[in-house]
């Protein structure tokens, strides 16, 4: 199966993929603390979880990830999934791995799957539209940092 749950031994690949995604988005300064991330994902009280995509015929190769956490909608009265990061390495694109990651997320909840996308990401916009996803009109995301 090309999509699987990440395990503790995947922490280096997970962090490397996130850093590669940052570089792809022109952020060359992101360097993650592997031990800290490991605690957030695999510690006694995990805060997030990851799905790993592997290309067909290459079971040891990590091609991409979906980095997620649970959300909850009071108006729908059910849990959903917040997709914080979806990234497939450029060499493994166009094989359906991004779609498989998103399909697996939709299979894990009866609620909504939501994510943000940077403005101007025309490739992402086309990809999500092809899947039937739509932007949420009338909502503006706010962020408050300590």
* 86-124: pLDDT as tens digits: 999 999 998 999 999 999 999 999 999 999 988 888 988
Question: Is the entire prediction scored with pTM above 0.85?
Answer: yes
Query: What CATH code would you report for 3-131?
Result: 3.40.630.30
In tens, the pLDDT along 48-75 reads 999 999 998 888 899 999 999 999 999 9
d(CA 87, CA 46): 21
Active-site option among 24, 95, 128, 142: 128
Tally Cβ neighbours within 10 Å of residue 67. 21
Give percent of the chain above pLDDT 90: 77
Rounded to 5°, angle at Cα 128 from 3 and 94: 55
Half-sphere exposure of 39 (CA within 13 A, CB side): 4
| 22 contacts 73 by C-beta, under 8 angstroms | no
128 is known as an active-site residue? yes
């Amino acid at each position: 199966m090309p999509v699987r749950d990440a395990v503790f031994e995947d922490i280096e690949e997970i962090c490397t993929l996130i850093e590669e995604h940052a570089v792809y988005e022109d952020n060359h300064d992101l360097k993650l603390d592997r031990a800290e991330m490991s605690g957030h994902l695999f510690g006694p009280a995990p805060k997030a979880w990851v799905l790993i995509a592997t290309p067909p015929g290459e079971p040891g190769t990590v091609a991409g990830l979906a980095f997620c956490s649970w959300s909850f909608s009071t108006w729908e009265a059910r849990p959903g999934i917040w997709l914080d990061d979806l990234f497939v390495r450029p060499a493994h694109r166009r094989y359906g791995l991004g779609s498989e990651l998103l399909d697996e997320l939709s299979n894990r909840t009866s609620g909504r799957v939501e994510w943000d996308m940077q403005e101007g990401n025309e490739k992402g916009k086309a990809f999500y539209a092809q899947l039937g996803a739509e932007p949420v009109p009338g909502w503006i995301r706010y962020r408050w940092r300590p």
